């Protein structure tokens, strides 16, 4: 039976895959079949996903350890989260880092989003001299390594703008500088899909340009603006290099800086609790930024693809 199938296969492979699925196929048939299941690729993908996320799950699990080991599981307990002494809730260093991080992220969001939206509107509609250089200026921070940007900002605050100096103001300025471009890139896409028609219609009906922006364009852009605000919040929360280089002392530590400085000195699972808590905050912001605009836009004609796909297609 097998041999007959094999000889058939060598004569005409299309016939085999077309007519008789029961017969066992030779390797060359299996190989030539464009509809075979991509098992190897699926295995690689799932292995990659496991490899990328399993360590994180282990880190979270260790934050609930009963003992102080940071490398193996030791029973369950929430003492590194809420217990007395060294825990997320009661260790002043950890809560200080958490407070600084959230404060910095909220302020960055509040400052960078309006500046970015205005820049995005300006760049999308502005014709003539100055648009291209301004557009370049907006894009370059997206691809500049943080080390280069952090180094440059460090030098400017210590050598030129000494009145500002290093510290939380410098951190805030640094974060706003590298997040403005994110806002522009995210809201710009929405601006292009809206097109100029509605705005022109508003003006034909007697609205001044500013009224047209305020009453027509901005409400239509609101979901994208919200998404970009959430992304700015999350990016600022996760940033390490700029925060670290512009901090003046321990009191300016944010969560990533805390993780960096504590990780090298035999930390307890409370550090894992801190990292986990921050991860939950970031995820919450991103989830909100992805879900809420979908809900708001439900009335419009269905956008193609899922929100996740839309998110992945963003060229940052």
Partner 1 sequence: MKTRVSLGRRARAEWREARPPRALWPVLALPGVGWLCVFFVVPFYAVIAIAAGGVDEFAEPVPEWNPLQWNGSLILDGFRGVLPGGDQSNAMQRTVQYVSLALFACYLIGYPVAYYVARLGGRRKGMLLLLLLAPFWISYLMRMLAWLNLLQTDGYVNDVAAVLPFVSPTNWLDGRWYTVVFGLVYGYLPFFVLPLYSALDRIDQRLIEASRDLGIGPIATFRRVTLPLSRQGLLAAGAITALPMFGDYYTQDLLSQSPSTSMIGNQINTFLRSGASKQTGAALVLVLSMFLAILMAYYLWSTNAASTEVR
Q: Are 188 and 195 in contact (CB under 8 A)?
A: no
User: DSSP readout, 149-174?
Assistant: HHHHHHHIIIII-TTT-SSHHHHHHH
Q: Closest approach of Cβ 19 to partner 1, in Å?
A: 19
* CB closer to partner 1 out of 22 and 289: 289
Q: Closest approach of Cβ 124 to partner 1, in Å?
A: 8
Q: Are 292 and 226 in contact (CB under 8 A)?
A: yes
* CB closer to partner 1 out of 226 and 240: 240
* CB closer to partner 1 out of 180 and 223: 180
Per-residue burial over 202-225, b = 16 or more CB atoms within 10 Å of its CB, e = otherwise: beeeebeeeebbeebbeebbebbb
The partner residues of 65 in beta bridges, in order of sequence, read 76
* CB closer to partner 1 out of 91 and 276: 276
Helices (H) and strands (E) in the chain, counts: 16, 0
* CB closer to partner 1 out of 127 and 301: 127
Q: Which of 191, 176, 173, 170 is nearest to 116 (CA)?
A: 176
Q: Closest approach of Cβ 149 to partner 1, in Å?
A: 8
| CA-based radius of gyration for the chain | 27
Structure tokens at 304: 């193609």
8 Cβ contact partners less than 8 Å away, ≥ 6 residues apart: 15, 16, 23
* CB closer to partner 1 out of 16 and 255: 255
* CB closer to partner 1 out of 4 and 270: 270
Q: Closest approach of Cβ 90 to partner 1, in Å?
A: 21
* CB closer to partner 1 out of 2 and 43: 43
Q: Closest approach of Cβ 56 to partner 1, in Å?
A: 6
Q: Closest approach of Cβ 74 to partner 1, in Å?
A: 12
Q: Which helix (H) or strand (E) holds 254?
A: none
Give the three-class secondary structure for 76.
strand
Q: Closest approach of Cβ 138 to partner 1, in Å?
A: 7
* Residue 51 exposed, middle or buried by CB count within 10 Å (0-12, 13-18, 19+): exposed
Q: Closest approach of Cβ 1 to partner 1, in Å?
A: 27
Give the three-class secondary structure for 143.
helix
| Interatomic CA distance for residues 87 and 40, integer angstroms | 44
């Amino acid at each position: 039976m097998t041999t007959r199938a094999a000889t058939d296969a060598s004569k005409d492979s299309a016939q085999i895959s077309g007519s008789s699925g029961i017969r066992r196929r030779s390797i060359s048939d299996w190989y030539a079949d464009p509809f075979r299941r991509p098992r190897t690729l699926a295995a690689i993908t799932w292995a990659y996903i496991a490899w990328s996320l399993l360590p994180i799950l282990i880190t979270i699990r260790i934050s609930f350890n009963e003992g102080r080991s940071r490398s193996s599981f030791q029973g369950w307990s929430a003492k590194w989260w809420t217990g007395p002494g060294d825990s997320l809730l009661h260790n002043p260093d950890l809560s200080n880092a958490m407070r600084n991080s959230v404060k910095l992220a909220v302020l960055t969001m509040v400052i960078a989003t309006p500046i970015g939206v205005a820049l995005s509107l300006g760049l999308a509609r502005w014709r003539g001299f100055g648009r291209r250089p301004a557009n370049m200026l907006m894009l370059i921070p997206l691809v500049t390594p943080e080390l280069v940007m952090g180094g440059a900002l460090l030098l400017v605050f210590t050598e030129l703008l000494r009145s500002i100096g290093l510290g939380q103001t410098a951190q805030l300025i640094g974060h706003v500088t590298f997040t403005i471009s994110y806002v522009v890139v995210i809201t710009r896409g929405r601006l292009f899909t809206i097109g100029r028609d509605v705005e022109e219609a508003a003006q034909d009906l007697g609205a001044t340009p500013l009224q047209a922006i305020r009453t027509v364009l901005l409400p239509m852009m609101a979901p994208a603006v919200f998404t970009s605000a959430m992304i700015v919040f999350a990016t600022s929360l996760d940033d390490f290099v700029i925060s670290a280089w512009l901090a003046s002392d321990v009191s300016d530590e944010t969560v990533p800086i805390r993780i960096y400085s504590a990780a090298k000195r035999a930390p307890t699972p409370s550090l894992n609790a801190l990292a986990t808590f921050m991860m939950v905050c970031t995820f919450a912001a991103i989830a909100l930024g992805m879900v809420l605009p979908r809900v708001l836009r439900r009335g419009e004609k269905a956008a193609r693809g899922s929100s996740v796909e839309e998110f992945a297609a963003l060229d940052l």
